[in-house]
Structure 1
Amino acid sequence: MARSVYVAGLGPSVGKGTVALGIVELLSRRVAKVAVFRPLVSGAGQDHLLTVLRERYPGPVAAEESFGVTLAEASALVADGRREELIGRIVERYRAVERQSSAVVVIGSDFTDKPAEGHEELPRELAFNARLATEFGSVVVPVISGAGRSAESLAAAARSAYHSLVDLGATVAAVIANRVPAAASGSRPEGLPVPFWAVPEVAAIAAPTVGEVAAALDATVFSGGPSALDRDVLDYVVGAAHVPNVLEHLTEGSLLITPGDRADLLVAASAAHAAGTVTLAGLVLTLGEPPDERAVRVIERLNTGLAMLIVKTDSYHTIAAADRIDARLSTPRKVEAALGVFEETVDTAELSRVLDVARSSRVTPLMFENDLIDRARAERRHLVLPEGAEERILRATETLLRRGVADLTLLGDPAEIARRAREIGVEIGGARLVDPSASELREDFAARYAEIRKHRGVTLDLAFDVVRDVNYFGTMMVAAGLADGMVSGATHTTAATIRPAFEIIKTVPEVSVASSVFFMLLADRVLVYGDCAVNPDPDAAQLADIALSSAQTAAAFGIEPRVAMLSYSTGSSGSGADVDKVAAATALVRRRRPDLPVEGPIQYDAAIDPAVAAAKLPGSAVAGKATVFVFPDLNTGNNTYKAVQRSANAVAVGPVMQGLRAPVNDLSRGATVKDIVNTVAITAIQAGAR
């Protein structure tokens, strides 16, 4: 079993960060403790890629332990003829990381075979990385550049990379080419005995952000917030001609570089961006010249969301400096884009096989979240998001589309959604935009809804108004089979989100009540809590339905259900109406599912703590190891999940609705982009399980 994977870049700017990210993501789905290690870092242990990976995948080791030596330390040792001591120090540091980890991804050196000034005596890169990989016991995944290569040239480079490393004693698991032109991608090159994958060039990864350009040019940010600086710069356009000529040359994602006194160009370019004629990355004003205040007032009224930078250099030197900027995985958007293209082009099942890392029996929060994305991508369902113009929904949409999690329909005014997406700089081109008030489906949905609710006196005219509401329209799409599920609630109340589902979709025949669960992602396990969001005071039969639905949901998401029916009493130690209700519900569950491990009434401590369980309920199959916790009422459940969430620093994913004929899930109005992505993935998985 390969506990260590060494990602080695063969040449400068090959984009090995994308490959390292993809491999860490893959391993994080299989084992609990994945560490990232870099043999060499620049500066005082600072490394951008290491920081990005550690932030996304918090590993078992501290930041100061996750690298070998600094470049300065390595240079000093080599200059003194102490090369073996250098290797020894790095290996010793690596072994300390390996002892604490289930798997380690090693990211090779960034220096090239053309040494930097002051570091001429450093070992040559390929031999150095091959030696370290051998000392670590790592399998190697070399990354080669595909930029500008033909298919024949790419095949030759892949074979050369493989044989060069094997000749140096390394074990090569696979070869990956990055930034490959579409025409050069293809199957494994002839004569290469290991798997080969070609990852295409993606502009969103290769392009620097406006913020990176600002830092590289030592620019002053005259206007624009974090989202404006997060935009990708796909091109540079120098503005020196008259307005019509400059407008003709503006391209998508371009950064306009122009003297600060050209107010005409600044206003014209901003207006073109606001009108949707072209989507710009931002504006750079040269010669240290601030813009005219009157022009600034006009641009502010256009509400473009663009950053305006001021640099001291002229246009020629500004664009020359900008062209030398290397893009990095500097933003969550770039990370998601990199993961998306890696997962789309690399056969992760085959890569997992050749890396041969055994899957852990324990499910950690990170493994659970990554598994959600993986399973949703496999299902690839079509979901509807009613709150199409909400910023968090738009950012989540970009992530979901880039990762291939689901096909999406956004509801709302298409012009407003597109304008809002331009303002915050996100790409949602793969989503379908539908305006319920103008949709051709509205009349048909109104007729369907009127028929469903005629027993409540709903007329066709009233139904025509009702289905204009985005939540009702989205629910009708699900009911009509035009979408597989719906996620709402970022700006709507829980009632507004789920009431249409109760009216239109309704519950499955064998379940008397729809309910919800939260997946509670604790530090070392994932638990299921139900019902914490929907039913205020369920009776015994409803409580039994909640327990059965919660167990089914847990099993569907890879959690072995062991159900604890919670009460303030364990076993027969207490009495009262509340205890009797839980006891009756437990009996119903056992009668309907004799195969399901269930215990109740049981107190929370006896359900989760083996020591307490041994004293209170010795011999129980559930006590001390429960995974599904069913609360007797909404008051208890809602307060408990929030207490655990805050005091144990747990992530609460949900509420996840269950018991409906088709999945409709509610978001908290405080939901983050990550929450939305997770909930959409869960909904896609639920839809696939129907």
Structure 2
Amino acid sequence: MLRLLRKTGSLGSALKGKTAANCTAPFSCFSVASPSSCLTPAAAPTIPATRIRRRFADFLPWTVRRQAHTGVYLHHTNPGRGTDSLAVALGLVHALDRIQPGMGYFRPIDRTTIGGNRAAVMKEIYGFEDDMSSMHGVTQQKAFELITTDRMDDLLEEIYRAFEQIRKRHEFLVIEGTSLKGWGGDTATLNAKLSNLLGTSAIFFTDARGAIRNEIYRSKEEWEHEILESAKVSDLAFKREKVEVLADIVHTLPSEIRDVEALKKLFADANIPFAGAIPDDPLLHSLQVHDVMRTLDAELLFELKGKGAALSTGVTNFIVATLQLSDLLAELPKNGDPRKGSVVITDSSRSDILLSLLHLHQSRTFANIAALVLTGGKRPEKCVEQLVQDQADKSSLPVLVSPMPSFETSALLSKAEATIEPRSYRKIERAQLIFEENVDMDVITKALLKEQPVRMNPKLFIHNLFTKAKANKKHIVLPEGSEPRTVQAAGIVLNRDLCEITLVGNKQAIEQVAKQYRVDISRAHIVDPPRSPRLEAYIDYMYEVRKHKGMNKGAAHESLIADCNYFGTCMVALGDADGMVSGAINTTANTVRPALQIIKTSPNLPLVSSVFFMCLPDRVLVYGDCAINSSPNSEELATIAIQSAETAAAFGVEPKVAMLSYATGTSNKGPLIQKVIDATEIAKKKRPDLLIEGPLQYDAAVNPETAKTKLKGKDSPVAGKATVLIFPDLNTGNNTYKAVQQSTGAVAVGPLLQGLKKPVNDLSRGCTVMDIVTTIALTAVQASNKKSS
């Protein structure tokens, strides 16, 4: 499962140092209290950082270097909120995950016997396959026992034994230390010993607020020096243990001292590598619905559509509803951000409030209700619950049943603490985003990598695809505008700021889908064809390009209104959009036919074909044609080869083209082999600058030893090193890409269509949301390449 970077907008302003001492949480009739002002900072353990025994090399936008280390040790230099320390760890793991296949996660000392919350988050988000019990060495209780009885060697031995077991299953481990909360000893020295034991270098995380958490006031200069001193204490401990410190990352940096250059100079003077400073972000320590549910030990009244998104909705305030419904409605905010809202608390007997809020949540005048809490430990009466169930399929409003009365429920929620859990989707993506934007990974990679290039891995390919799309922002139209996966994909693309999006369809229907799935599409353009001011221009254009086929303006009007793909294609043809993505609910023919009729093929290579980017664990290969041409002749096969080579080069894959057949070289003869031989010659004559060879069998194309044997020692710039593989027909190509995908777990990105004057791409009707996101990015990069060519 690919984990990709998200854009969630501008960074939040820093918190102003609120603590439980200066907060109040009044819960009276319809009283409103901000949850952030009622939270006591989480007493999270200080978490040491990770380190690696392998070296990485610098990487350029579309390449990766070979590793030399086997792990990295993360050390948190001072105590801080659990959410803040976990957020920065998530950001680093996400960054390393793009350049390090086969990664795992390990905690030498953990709070529980099953790996703890951090391991659970890491396991679910990054797809680690280890059992929770194998992702830690010993529990805190066991560590206390061994340390207090002067059995440090026994502690280290137990931890190392567990580490050796998990290391066998991973090429690279992120090892996160512990504060050993409650011990009172020198945790920096303990973590330095563990880092030395496990043979890793270290990365420090320093909490800017944690450096002065007990201070009332510090000047900017004093605060900066406190941050540095916090890092220096740990630096001395790790140097005593002969552990190399690769970098220090300062996080939770308040706005009062957001002077990164000053911090960088202080760290340089202290000879501690500085990788960046992450600003404080209120979202990371804000309450969400799942925090309310966990705090109350509440259960859901009914299962939700889009449950994960609903439970990660932010909580802006609590409202205790005890009076009339009309009074409650007056207190509810209107038409705000759908990703956050009020939590309404009321007794389970108030069926009027329950039914009204369920209905209101579905209305166009949507009041931002994050959740409804029914108190008293009882479910509604049967007749009411039946009415609720009737609306359940339409609702995405979480209705929680608290086991306590209203007063106790409100009192407990006033002390609720924010967490980051596997379903905290917005917090996780924000943590990844602000890490990417504020940390210079070159500082870390230059310490871990050496100059030995290897083939690209899937995560880096996808990451760089998104980076290139974002750098050359284009406008992509999605004709299937009200399809739920398409709407969700549009929200992700807009969040990441990858490109501009137009959704085609009924505005009210699209907005209702967005509301149901908690998707922010406020920056998307929504175009309803019958009401579009450009409709007449599209009718005229379609009539002009199709009149030779007997089309009149009436038929053009009907096609544009009835078929979203014709409308989207006209947008691209007339330059109102740079590319189009469709096919989630339409067939390939319905997607490609309008493009062939209206946009038409490129004059120099007049053939539409396709490629898949096959993202293998250690490389990215380009397969063509696996989706469009069933039985191309030699001329068409040569065209496909040239198109695929150009596509590969455009996406950072050096094209070495193998023309595939069931025989290599002159080992066999036959009409199918001759077709490939002729296609190879045609392609070479048309593009003598390309490296093209054929016929080759697949093994001779990608395996150097096999190539040497089958070519009888003949040296070849392509055989054994091919990156672009051209199949002789659709039957072979389609089955091969599916076989590789299913048998190896490779990620197949595509199909990407080639040969049109402007980019239009087709989706599988079984596509996922992330498939659509990736195809949109591919289309945007295609569009930028066409504009620059």
- Using the size of structure 1 for normalisation, the TM-score is 0.89
Q: Any conservation in 1 of the 2:613–2:621 contact (CA below 8 Å)?
A: yes
1:376 to 2:469 alignment: yes
Of 635, 645, 668, the residue aligned with 1:541 is 635
Of 117, 141, 152, the residue aligned with 1:83 is 152
1:488 Cα deviation from its structure 2 partner: 1.4
Of 600, 612, 625, the residue aligned with 2:694 is 600
Change (3 A) 1:503 1:177: same
1:169 Cα deviation from its structure 2 partner: 3.9
Equivalent residue for 1:118?
none
Change (3 A) 1:62 1:520: farther
1:486 Cα deviation from its structure 2 partner: 1.9
1:546 Cα deviation from its structure 2 partner: 0.5
Equivalent residue for 2:400?
309
* 2:261 aligned partner, one-letter code: R
1:582 Cα deviation from its structure 2 partner: 1.3
* 1:428 aligned partner, one-letter code: I
Equivalent residue for 2:277?
197
Change (3 A) 1:348 1:498: farther
Of 276, 287, 300, the residue aligned with 2:376 is 287
Q: Any conservation in 1 of the 2:276–2:440 contact (CA below 8 Å)?
A: no
| TM-align CA RMSD | 3.2
Secondary structure class of the residue paired with 1:373: helix
Q: Any conservation in 1 of the 2:291–2:416 contact (CA below 8 Å)?
A: no
1:82 Cα deviation from its structure 2 partner: 1.8
1:54 Cα deviation from its structure 2 partner: 4.0
Per mean C-alpha deviation after superposition, the further-off stretch among 37-46 and 662-671 is 37-46
Equivalent residue for 1:224?
303
Q: Which runs of 5+ in 1 are unaligned?
A: 116-120
Q: Distance in 1 between matches of 2:539 and 2:351?
A: 52
Q: Any conservation in 1 of the 2:343–2:371 contact (CA below 8 Å)?
A: yes
Matches within 5 A, 1:446-485: 446-468=539-561, 469-485=563-579
Of 103, 108, 113, the residue aligned with 1:39 is 108
Equivalent residue for 1:188?
261
Equivalent residue for 1:401?
494
Q: Which runs of 5+ in 2 are unaligned?
A: 1-54, 57-68, 240-244, 269-273, 334-339
1:257 to 2:376 alignment: no
Change (3 A) 1:269 1:77: same
1:324 to 2:412 alignment: no
* 2:409 aligned partner, one-letter code: T
1:532 to 2:626 alignment: yes
Of 122, 136, 143, the residue aligned with 1:53 is 122
1:7 to 2:74 alignment: yes
Change (3 A) 1:226 1:664: same
Change (3 A) 1:197 1:150: farther
Matches within 5 A, 1:249-648: 249-251=331-333, 252-275=340-363, 276-299=365-388, 300-301=390-391, 303-322=394-413, 323-331=415-423, 333-334=425-426, 335-348=428-441, 352-353=445-446, 360-468=453-561, 469-618=563-712, 619=714, 620-648=716-744
Q: Distance in 2 between matches of 1:623 and 1:60?
A: 36
Q: Distance in 2 between matches of 1:222 and 1:173?
A: 48
Q: Any conservation in 2 of the 1:32–1:362 contact (CA below 8 Å)?
A: no
Secondary structure class of the residue paired with 1:173: strand
Of 247, 262, 266, the residue aligned with 1:173 is 247
Q: Any conservation in 2 of the 1:247–1:269 contact (CA below 8 Å)?
A: no
Per mean C-alpha deviation after superposition, the further-off stretch among 458-467 and 342-351 is 342-351
Q: Any conservation in 1 of the 2:113–2:133 contact (CA below 8 Å)?
A: no
Secondary structure class of the residue paired with 2:369: coil
Q: Distance in 2 between matches of 1:389 and 1:357?
A: 48
Deviations along 1:349-373, one digit per CA (max 9) or x if unpaired, are 5665576676751222333233323
Change (3 A) 1:37 1:401: farther
Q: Distance in 2 between matches of 1:344 and 1:381?
A: 21
1:330 Cα deviation from its structure 2 partner: 1.4
Q: Any conservation in 1 of the 2:208–2:254 contact (CA below 8 Å)?
A: no
Change (3 A) 1:182 1:262: farther
Change (3 A) 1:274 1:486: same
Equivalent residue for 2:39?
none
Deviations along 1:43-83, one digit per CA (max 9) or x if unpaired, are 22423333443455456988665433322321221122123
Change (3 A) 1:365 1:308: same
Secondary structure class of the residue paired with 2:751: strand
Q: Any conservation in 1 of the 2:325–2:352 contact (CA below 8 Å)?
A: yes
Deviations along 1:405-460, one digit per CA (max 9) or x if unpaired, are 33322222222122112212333333332222322222222222222323323333
Change (3 A) 1:196 1:502: same
Change (3 A) 1:332 1:269: closer
Per mean C-alpha deviation after superposition, the further-off stretch among 375-384 and 438-447 is 375-384
Q: Distance in 2 between matches of 1:185 and 1:394?
A: 37
Q: Distance in 2 between matches of 1:230 and 1:188?
A: 38
Q: Distance in 2 between matches of 1:57 and 1:522?
A: 18
Equivalent residue for 2:191?
129
Q: Distance in 1 between matches of 2:737 and 2:423?
A: 31
Equivalent residue for 1:139?
202
1:520 Cα deviation from its structure 2 partner: 2.0
Change (3 A) 1:413 1:168: same
Q: Distance in 2 between matches of 1:355 and 1:319?
A: 50
Q: Distance in 2 between matches of 1:6 and 1:314?
A: 46
1:85 Cα deviation from its structure 2 partner: 3.9
Q: Distance in 2 between matches of 1:435 and 1:298?
A: 34
Q: Distance in 2 between matches of 1:48 and 1:357?
A: 35
Q: Any conservation in 2 of the 1:175–1:196 contact (CA below 8 Å)?
A: yes
Secondary structure class of the residue paired with 1:471: helix
* 2:315 aligned partner, one-letter code: L
* 1:336 aligned partner, one-letter code: E
Deviations along 1:658-683, one digit per CA (max 9) or x if unpaired, are 22232221110101122222222222
Equivalent residue for 2:325?
243
Change (3 A) 1:67 1:404: farther
Q: Any conservation in 2 of the 1:24–1:34 contact (CA below 8 Å)?
A: no
Q: Distance in 1 between matches of 2:256 and 2:599?
A: 47
Q: Any conservation in 1 of the 2:125–2:422 contact (CA below 8 Å)?
A: no
Q: Distance in 1 between matches of 2:549 and 2:218?
A: 68
Q: Any conservation in 2 of the 1:200–1:341 contact (CA below 8 Å)?
A: no
* 1:142 aligned partner, one-letter code: F
Q: Distance in 2 between matches of 1:156 and 1:273?
A: 50
Per mean C-alpha deviation after superposition, the further-off stretch among 49-58 and 548-557 is 49-58
Q: Distance in 2 between matches of 1:344 and 1:413?
A: 36
1:154 Cα deviation from its structure 2 partner: 6.2
Deviations along 1:512-539, one digit per CA (max 9) or x if unpaired, are 2121011223344332211111112212
Change (3 A) 1:244 1:342: farther
Per mean C-alpha deviation after superposition, the further-off stretch among 328-337 and 274-283 is 328-337
* 2:665 aligned partner, one-letter code: G
Q: Distance in 1 between matches of 2:631 and 2:717?
A: 28
- Using the size of structure 2 for normalisation, the TM-score is 0.78
Identity of aligned residues (%): 37
